[in-house]
Amino acid sequence: PVNRTPDMQEERLKLPILAEEQVIMEAVAENPIVIVCGETGSGKTTQVPQFLYEAGYSSDGSIIGVTEPRRVAAMTMSQRVAKEMNLSQRVVSYQIRYEGNVTEDTRIKFMTDGVLLKEIQKDFLLQKYKVVIIDEAHERSVYTDILIGLLSRIVILRKKKHLPLKLLIMSATLRVEDFTQNQRLFATPPPVIKVDSRQFPVTVHFNKRTPLEDYSGECFRKICKIHRMLPAGGILVFLTGQAEVHALCRRLRRTFPRTRHGPQEEEDQKDSVEETRKFKKSRARAKKAQAVTLPQINLDNYSVLPVDEGDEDREAEMDEEEEALGSDLDLDLGDEGADEGEQPDTSLPLHVLPLYSLLAPEKQAQVFQPPPVGTRLCVVATNVAETSLTIPGIKYVVDCGKVKKRYYDRVTSVSSFRISWVSQASADQRAGRAGRTEPGHCYRLYSSAVFGDFEPFPPPEITRRPVEDLILQMKALNIEKVVNFPFPTPPSVEALIAAEELLIALGALQAPQKSERMKQLQNSRVSCPITPLGRTMATFPVAPRFAKMLALSRQHGCLPYTITIVAAMTVRELFEELDRPAASNEELAILKGKRARVAQMKRTWAGHGASLLLGDLMVLLGAVGAWEFAGGSPQFCEANGLRYKAMMEIRRLRGQLTTAVNAVCPEAELFVDPKMQPPSESQVTYLRQIVAAGLGDHLARRVQSEELLEEKWRNAYKTPLLDDPVFIHPSSVLFWELPEFVVYQEVVETTKMYMKGVSAVEVQWIP
Ligand code: ADP
Ligand code: MG
């Protein structure tokens, strides 16, 4: 029995899905697999687990599992459901990659899809669970797709063992043919239950023209108009990234400051404190830039004591401390500061809140609170608000129509981040957010003709990225013929073959005989068995190339270093983005000063001689080592251009990898040492070999002067896969060194093709 509070009960009864409880529960009782479709906000995520709980699906101590593609959703939804049911988080719990609050009493468990995949590796039958719910299946994340494929088989096996498992697939769109019309996946098409959306009409307004560049500015102008001219009701704005979200939030807060005593006033004060700090700092930096003095460095223990620490800087640091306590990652975009004619308007307070996935959970929770009396709520969000979270009280949606995505070249894996148009389905989802509580309006900042050219649906992620990590995981689950796996949508044959070739080269899969291989390729039946090395690699929660490095590092005491390097490469982007446009001269001075400081620190961390040849990976090792040695503070990050969030994540991943390595190699007796000594010269040599073995297929050779036919090849490198020249990224410590052979972590295309994460290697050249 569940003892909900009367208020909560009343609120639940308003949700359309409550009317379908009986239909859903009967379908679940009669079918092993059921699909539930319903608009975002209809109550799927919060209510269906409760229906199952009340129907007794966890009464014998089993667990009702719910997977989410996003960490945010797993956490917030577990809290929300616990609250609705008046149960503690010991019973309704969550588990994400590094953390969770699952206990012996847990009956409803929200988790990311990656967590459930790992559990399948430990117990293929998932015997702890009586029901598994795959939520947000319409998002078609890679792990969601794989889980659905695996669960389609697990359901059959569990039936044979007379321990039936129920599978629910929940989607916010009606487009579920990939699940229902796929005979290989589900021989009998599962029933689809449609939940009435009880959606109020949303009037869609298109722009006459589509702004070419400045959609952020266009959003700003639209919000101002809505706020000044239209009746009460919350505004939800869709932008593409965290930096844009913050820039727009600040611009709006400046334009519509809150009156006395509000919490927002504090925020604004913080902003102005920050402005003062920046100004002070820029003065200090400007002074410094005139005479850059080398910091005094004791390489033995990584400690860093800049000798020219002025008083002004110390003041600035104190402000920073305050800032670190209260505000989020703040990035500037060049488009603000130029609000001609935008005088602060105190008569119309606007309650502005950011929302994106990396935002701290307590800040995310703010969007669910009613805004202070006399203010209008305005949430500036990334894609997270599109489907997984429903914000109450939204009447106006402003949609820039764009989304930021990572694109991979299918053959070469060269990747780039691109901002592109969303699909029609996504745009409609966004519009739908406006009609949850009353009729609403959606302002699309693009023309209806442009909308007509959008793709109807976004392609499933599995068709868009390299799949070597998935293939290794699947092989570790003894799925030999990956081609026969019941993918809802299979990855391309090229991607499958590229993944197998890489895994064979890494020694994770057994290479077939040549004749056998030809046959396989012709039938595109890729079916090499996994090797013992491959099994070990699969236990490490990192990309196969990095797993190989870990597997090779047993000797010479290299493991702690490899773990650190691998953790840093996995988390990526340790350093702040400093190549951004500056809004003012002061800011430019700050950026310049910081760039100089970071470049200097990178050189220090890279060291000389052998260690410099380890290049950017030595920088990663030095940065993590120095930060931990200095106590792991946010101030250290700020001073050295490091991202605090990234550093914290590296710390957690180091812990997790250390545990994983100890599990396969207990004699190593590893622990995470915050005072790790730098590697010795001979260890650096081993590390370079280890790195070369892991990144062996990412080899590049400098173009010799006699080969220099065209100007575009100056200082360029040639790789086996690409016809075009690639370059060492200017942020690399090897940018000036230009070693003959290098390996790289990845190639990212911006203005040119740039190698990032570069190390020098020696290659025996046999002409
Ligand atoms: P769905 O999964 O169908 O999109 P949800 O179950 O997530 O729907 O949400 C149902 C309703 O519960 C939403 O309309 C929202 O208003 C409310 N809700 C969800 N999470 C919270 C929360 N953390 N605080 C307050 N209300 C919430
Ligand atoms: Mg949901």
| Residue 406 burial class via C-beta count within 10 angstroms: exposed 0-12, middle 13-18, buried 19 and up | exposed
Q: Where are the alpha helices (DSSP H) in 358-423?
A: 361-365, 384-387
Q: How far is the CA of 389 from the centre of ligand 2 (A)?
A: 7
**DSSP string over 623-684:** HHHHHHHTT--HHHHHHHTB-HHHHHHHHHHHHHHHHHHHHH-GGG-----TTPPPPPHHHH
Are residues 392 and 679 in contact, defined by beta-carbon separation less than 8 angstroms? no
Least confident of 292-306, 479-493, 648-662: 292-306
435 close to ligand 1 (CB < 6 Angstrom): no
388 close to ligand 1 (CB < 6 Angstrom): no
pLDDT tens figures, 243-280: 889 899 999 999 998 764 444 444 544 444 444 454 44
Confidence of residue 379 (pLDDT cuts 50, 70, 90): very high
pLDDT tens figures, 540-551: 989 999 999 999
Residue identifier of the C-alpha nearest atom 20 of ligand 1? 80
Q: How far is the CA of 178 from the centre of ligand 2 (A)?
A: 20
pLDDT tens figures, 593-639: 989 999 999 999 999 888 899 999 999 999 999 999 999 999 999 99
Q: How far is the CA of 702 from the centre of ligand 1 (A)?
A: 56
Q: How far is the CA of 136 from the centre of ligand 1 (A)?
A: 13
| Ligand showing the shortest atom-to-Cα distance for residue 369 | 1
Atom of ligand 1 nearest to the CA of 389: 7
Residue identifier of the C-alpha nearest atom 24 of ligand 1? 368
| Ligand showing the shortest atom-to-Cα distance for residue 38 | 1
What is the interface pTM, i.e. ipTM, of the complex? 0.98
| Residue 200 burial class via C-beta count within 10 angstroms: exposed 0-12, middle 13-18, buried 19 and up | middle
Tokens of 169: 């697939």
CA atoms of 224 and 472, how far apart (whole Å): 51
80 close to ligand 1 (CB < 6 Angstrom): yes
Are residues 173 and 138 in contact, defined by beta-carbon separation less than 8 angstroms? yes
Contacting residues for 521 by C-beta, under 8 A, at least 6 apart:
497
Radius of gyration of the chain from its Cα atoms, rounded to whole angstroms: 27
pLDDT of residue 59: 93
Confidence of residue 525 (pLDDT cuts 50, 70, 90): low
44 close to ligand 1 (CB < 6 Angstrom): yes
Are residues 133 and 64 in contact, defined by beta-carbon separation less than 8 angstroms? yes
pLDDT tens figures, 275-326: 445 444 544 444 443 333 333 333 333 322 222 222 222 222 222 222 332 3
40 close to ligand 1 (CB < 6 Angstrom): yes
Host H or E run for residue 68: strand 63-68
Tokens of 456: 């109807």
170 close to ligand 1 (CB < 6 Angstrom): no
pLDDT tens figures, 23-47: 999 999 999 999 999 988 889 999 9
| Residue 705 burial class via C-beta count within 10 angstroms: exposed 0-12, middle 13-18, buried 19 and up | exposed
Residue identifier of the C-alpha nearest atom 21 of ligand 1? 80
Atom of ligand 1 nearest to the CA of 42: 3
pLDDT tens figures, 444-478: 999 999 999 999 888 898 998 889 999 999 999 98
38 close to ligand 1 (CB < 6 Angstrom): yes
**Max CA separation in the chain (angstroms):** 82
Q: How far is the CA of 136 from the centre of ligand 2 (A)?
A: 6
76 close to ligand 1 (CB < 6 Angstrom): yes
- When the pLDDT of each residue in the chain is averaged and rounded to a whole number, the result is 84
Q: Are strands 376-381 and 350-355 parallel, antiparallel or unpaired?
A: parallel
